[in-house]
Amino acid sequence: MSDKHSIKGKVVLIAGGAKNLGGLIARDLAEHGASAVAIHYNSAATRADAEATVAAVQKLGAKAVALQADLTSAAAMEKLFADASAALGRPDIAINTVGKVLKKPITEISEAEYDEMSAVNAKTAFFFLKEAGRNVKDHGKVLTVVTSLLGAFTPFYASYAGTKAPVEHFTRAAAKEFGARGISVVAVGPGPMDTPFFYPAEGPEAVAYHKTAAALSAFSPTGLTHIEDVVPFIRHLVSDGWWVTGQTILINGGYTTK
């Protein structure tokens, strides 16, 4: 990577950075010159993954810290940014990969399920952007992972895509509000990814469908989007020299009608 498109010396905060896409982003940014990475994890269930990611980042020569929090409250999000800044310095880059999938007919979704989906996908994203605006350094980068379902016409994901959809407007508003400080704000929506996050929500028939649905499925080892292909794109978006802002960028439109 040229100096123009570099993350050398940057401090990074990754919400949901313990494993899968977030964990690989942490490793990749450390490998490409980030000086420090704060890795958020949700609960004891992902503590070991967070610690493994911290060890991997440190082995690559960057500082790292794991920070646990349930980010569905504004106070917890504020504390996450404060703790990350205290441990590693104010972030130059803030990335939010937090999300929860529910695939279910809209007529069967309970109020409790809706409230949980809204809290994890929409409320968390809103207060992440709020705290990023308060804490990320001038000329920094802010990125939220959403879903390619935002560009789809499909059943059963009303509570998932529906609670990710507000993040598009949050992103546009934050881009306008933070732009005077040189901060870019984007959202990236991958297609169905070959990670443990994808499979529990899908039955065998749906998995088989998604593995053939995209135009490029035949050229993918599994037919799905792979995090190894998404991560370099995210790295470019958060590096110096790239000023895409206020956009939701969809990757691999694998979701269509089933």
What pLDDT, on a 0 to 100 scale, did the predictor assign at position 61?
Answer: 98
Q: What is the 3-state secondary structure (H, E, C) of 89-118?
A: CCCCEEEECCCCCCCCCHHHCCHHHHHHHH
CA angle 54, 78, 67 (to 5 degrees): 15
What pLDDT, on a 0 to 100 scale, did the predictor assign at position 165?
Answer: 95
Least confident of 21-35, 135-149, 231-245: 231-245
Kindly give, in sequence order, each residue whose CB lies less than 8 Å from that of residue 190, ignoring residues fewer than 6 positions away.
21, 145, 147, 148, 225, 230, 251, 252
Look up the pTM and report it. Answer: 0.89
What pLDDT, on a 0 to 100 scale, did the predictor assign at position 77?
Answer: 98
Q: CA-to-CA distance for 165 and 16, rounded, in angstroms?
A: 19
Q: CA-to-CA distance for 171 and 193, rounded, in angstroms?
A: 22
Token readout for 176 is: 């306008």
pLDDT tens sequence across 98-140: 999 999 999 999 999 999 999 999 999 999 999 999 999 999 9
Q: What is the mean pLDDT of residues 7-15?
A: 97
Least confident of 102-111, 136-145, 227-236: 227-236
Where do the domains of the chain lie? 3-251
pLDDT at 3 over 50: yes
What is the pLDDT confidence band of residue 257, given thresholds at 50, 70 and 90?
A: very low
Instruction: Give the closest residue to 159 by CA, choosing from 125, 108, 217, 93.
Output: 108
What pLDDT, on a 0 to 100 scale, did the predictor assign at position 253?
Answer: 46
Q: CA-to-CA distance for 137 and 184, rounded, in angstroms?
A: 11
Q: What is the mean pLDDT of residues 136-161?
A: 90
From residue 112, alpha-carbon distances to 10, 100, 108, 115, 118 in Å are 40, 14, 11, 5, 10
State the chain's mean pLDDT as an integer: 87
Host H or E run for residue 212: helix 204-213
pLDDT at 174 over 80: yes
Residue predicted with more confidence, 165 or 148: 165
Instruction: Give the E-state strand segments of 42-107 in sequence order.
Output: 63-68, 93-96
Q: What is the mean pLDDT of residues 204-216?
A: 58
Whether the Cβ atoms of residue 129 and residue 142 lie closer than 8 Å to each other: yes
CATH number listed for the domain at residues 3-251 = 3.40.50.720
pLDDT at 256 over 60: no
What pLDDT, on a 0 to 100 scale, did the predictor assign at position 217?
Answer: 62
pLDDT tens sequence across 91-101: 999 999 999 99
What pLDDT, on a 0 to 100 scale, did the predictor assign at position 222?
Answer: 67
